[in-house]
A and B are shown apart, each in its own frame.
Chain A
């Protein structure tokens, strides 16, 4: 075999015969757009939660310095919140997103099979 091989990965599965460009809204792209809307919704909500937590906490601690003087178990509140509570929140958010995204795909696949 003397043909030159592109080495950035195994042969791409997109090397199929060309399809017609564009696509009408109601045609083969309609379901894709619907699924994308659902997934985009989940993604947007997850990112909004991340933004709220990581955007809100700095404001909270900057505006209420009294919070930094509160102690729990001998440790100041900001340290507890930022080292313990927030990581737990991230894990919960991630788990929720994975579940929702997979459910959306399952429902889509079930719908597609009924057509």
Chain B
């Protein structure tokens, strides 16, 4: 019943797309309505940003890793403050629609344009992958369908929404969906707070335990680690032997379950952990930097650096400011986005803590993205729980479709020119943008979407942020310098990202392991040093148009220089 309700609500939310005929001109595909008000556009941008990772993933990460994950929402909102301060108004005034356009306009180099477009494509792929994963988890949680069906559903929705109308057809969807997502998150939060009243022993000095009898189904074969002996009713294959529901005395230590096995734990039993998630006692879970990671401070700074500097390099964000009529309107919109994201920052901590109490079995399956989807039924019984669950699931679907649409449109806009331009180029680009993540999804090792999204941020911070910041504020940036920055930061960041996506992120060995997992603290300074250094070494390559470009970007509207002399 929940599935049907959720599907009905989803279809209703998709119907908020304003009905449009075929676009009259190709420029319609790219130019969103130019008279969009700051509040409306800020809603669309925030809706874009509150993706599957923010909506589901952050709560799941807090469930698994505790206070160490609270830095993620902080970095996300701070990234928009920095975007507002450094980039928004000048970028809008430049008249560039995509980051590739900006690079070519500012530096006059098609090579730099190509490099930027490549980075945009890579970032887009890294960002889309966790959206598809989140869709798969959502669909499988609420309906039991296999995860890959969720991937197909979201891809189909994106293609249907994006192919006909480009940006114009999705601004309305995204703005409405931000408020839908906020409702989907705020209402359950209020309900949970009313029921729960902040009583929790999640931060006591004991490992997480089941508060009530819980049956856990293993979707995939996995190794699990029991901290204490427990009496468990097992149906399925455990440690190589098939059982039919009888109760077993399981010793502490490692056990292996095959896909499809069901284990029923009594209340009070300690929660077994998948090998990917370190066991944390409650008090260590609740304390920052107590989680036993190697170099936790460096890893935290790395993540903060990536999210704060990477926001401006996310193609789907900067493209949205084009909908504002002027630089100052864009700046105001950016300010409103900070406000909306700040409101959203409240929720991951709350839901992660509730998950620790009510859905601790996710520590065993590793599918922490499902936290928010399972909580309504656990906390609120009966029909209200069903309704809440449907609301949350709808918000989750809204998150995937709106974010995926935004990313696909922005990426397609950047690469369409290279694919022949025009309507056909755009549509080919759309298919290229969705096909690669879809093909990689079965091999992605990390089921936690928020962790994957940070990979996109790292690449953005390491390759596009230096070009943007230096391009806007520094007169001496040269095309070779920009290329050097993009390569010096982008290549290692992409390599580390691929290692993260395709390889198992087990506890790394010392500094190298920490750097591969969170490379920003190395790749971002490297990119800036390379860009600045090579620019200073090639002063003869400073573009002639620099002065004009600076004037155009920084002078307020109505005062740009006109004509020669």
A-side interface residues toward B, CB under 8 Å?
A: 4-10, 12-14, 16-23, 28-29, 32, 35-36, 39-40, 42-43, 46-47, 50, 53-55, 58-59, 61-62, 65, 68-69, 73-76, 78-79, 82-84, 86-88, 90-91, 93-95, 97-98, 101-102, 105, 108-109, 112
| From B30, B70, B199, B286, contact of A8 by CB (8 A) | B30
Provide the residues of chain B in CB contact with A101, threshold 8 Å: 89, 331
Contact A50 B556, CB 8 Å, known A32-B551, A79-B349, A82-B349: no
Q: Is the CB of B301 within 8 A of A55?
A: yes
Verify A19–B548 contact, CB threshold 8 A.
yes
Partner of B339, one of A6, A14, A28, A91: A91
CB-based contact A6/B417 at 8 Å: yes
- B550–A78 touching, CB < 8 Å: no
- Is there a chain A Cβ closer than 8 Å to B31's Cβ? yes
Give, as a whole number of angstroms, the nearest-CB distance from A31 to chain B: 8
Q: Flag if B564 contacts A7 (CB, 8 Å).
A: no
Question: How many A-B contacts if CB must be within 8 Å?
Answer: 209
Q: Contact between A62 and B342 (Cβ–Cβ < 8 Å)?
A: no
Interface set, chain B 516-565, CB cutoff 8 A to A:
544-545, 547-548, 550-552, 554-556, 558-565
Q: Which of B78, B84, B564 contacts A54 (CB 8 A)?
A: B78
A8 touches B97 (CB 8 A): yes
Supposing A17-B564, A105-B556 touch, asked if A58 and B301 sit within 8 A by C-beta, the answer is yes
Residue in contact with B105 in the complex, picked from A12, A40, A42, A87, CB distance below 8 Å: A12
Question: Which of A29, A74, A98 has the most C-beta atoms of chain B within 10 angstroms of its own C-beta?
Answer: A98
Q: Does B407 contact A (CB under 8 A)?
A: no
Chain A residues lying within 8 Å of B349, measured Cβ to Cβ, are 79, 82-83
> Which residues of chain B in 322-356 are interfacial with respect to chain A, using CB atoms and an 8 Å cutoff?
322, 328, 331-332, 334-335, 338-339, 341-343, 345-346, 348-350, 353
A108 to B551, CA, bound (A): 13
Contact B288 A7 (CB under 8 A): no
For the complex, what is the distance from the CA of A50 to the CA of B335, rounded to whole Å? 14
Taken together as a complex, chains A and B put the C-alpha atoms of A56 and B524 apart, in Å, by 19
- B75 and A32 contacting across the interface, CB-CB below 8 Å: no
User: What 5 A-B pairs are tightest by C-beta distance, nearest first?
Assistant: A87-B342, A9-B97, A21-B544, A94-B338, A46-B85
Known pairs A29-B551, A68-B288, A98-B331; A12 contacts B95 (CB<8 A)? yes
Q: Which residue of chain B has the shortest Cβ distance to A23 in the bound complex?
A: B547
Q: How far is the CA of A26 from the CA of B83 in the complex (A)?
A: 31
A10: which B residues are within 8 A, CB to CB? 27, 31
- Closest-CB distance, A30 to chain B (whole angstroms): 11
In the complex, are the beta carbons of A39 and B547 less than 8 A apart? no
Contact between chains at A43 and B70 (CB < 8 Å): no
From B95, B308, B552, B558, contact of A50 by CB (8 A)? B308
Nearest residue (CB) in A for B97 is A9
For B328, the chain A residues whose CB sits under 8 A away are 102, 105
Q: Is the interface of A mostly helix, strand, loop or mixed?
A: helix
The answer, yes or no, to whether B153 is at the interface (CB within 8 Å) is no
Chain A residue at minimum C-beta to C-beta distance from B198? A74
| B67 close to chain A: CB less than 8 A | yes
Cβ < 8 Å to A, chain B residues 23-80? 26-27, 29-31, 67, 70-71, 73-75, 77-78, 80
Interface size on B, residues (CB 8 A): 84
Complex contact A7–B70 (CB within 8 A): no
Q: How far is the CB of B36 from chain A (nearest CB, A)?
A: 15
A42 to B89, CA, bound (A): 13
Interface string of B444-484 (1 = CB under 8 A from A): 00000000000000000000000000000100000000000
Q: Among the listed stretches B124-132, B268-276, B420-428, B507-515, which one makes contact with chain A, having 4 or more residues with CB under 8 Å of it? A: B420-428
Q: With A29-B551, A90-B342, A97-B81 known to touch, is A6 a contact of B289 (CB < 8 Å)?
A: no
Q: Is the CB–CB distance between B96 and A9 below 8 Å?
A: yes
Q: Kindly state whether residue B290 has any CB partner on chain A within 8 Å.
A: yes
Contact of A22 among B300, B332, B547 (CB under 8 A): B547
Cα A27 to Cα B444 in complex, Å, equals 57
Q: How far is the CA of A55 from the CA of B416 in the complex (A)?
A: 39
Asked whether, in the complex, the Cβ of B289 is within 8 Å of the Cβ of A86, the reply is: no
B67 and A62 form a contact (CB under 8 A): no
Question: With A17-B564, A29-B547, A54-B308 in contact, do A88 and B342 touch (Cβ < 8 Å)?
Answer: yes
Instruction: Report the nearest B residue to A32, measured CB to CB.
Output: B551
Chain A residues positioned under 8 Å from B286 (CB to CB): 68, 76, 78-79
What are 30 A-B contacts defined by CB distance under 8 Å? A8-B98, A8-B100, A9-B30, A9-B31, A19-B565, A29-B547, A35-B554, A43-B473, A46-B84, A50-B81, A50-B308, A54-B75, A55-B301, A55-B304, A58-B288, A58-B297, A65-B287, A68-B290, A75-B198, A78-B70, A78-B286, A79-B353, A82-B70, A86-B74, A87-B73, A88-B342, A91-B339, A94-B84, A98-B332, A105-B328
Query: Contact partner of B67 among A20, A28, A68, A102, CB < 8 A?
Result: A68
* Interface pair B345/A83, CB less than 8 Å apart: yes
Does B7 lie at the interface of the complex (its beta carbon under 8 Å from any beta carbon of A)? no
Closest chain-B Cβ to A61's Cβ sits at a distance in Å of 4
Known: A5-B26, A39-B554, A108-B556. A82 touches B101 (CB 8 A): no
Are A79 and B297 closer than 8 Å at their CB atoms? no
Known contacts A9-B96, A50-B78, A101-B331, A90 near B548 by CB under 8 Å = no
Complex contacts, B342 vs chain A, CB 8 Å = 87-88, 90-91
Q: Are B77 and A90 in contact, with the CB atoms below 8 A?
A: yes
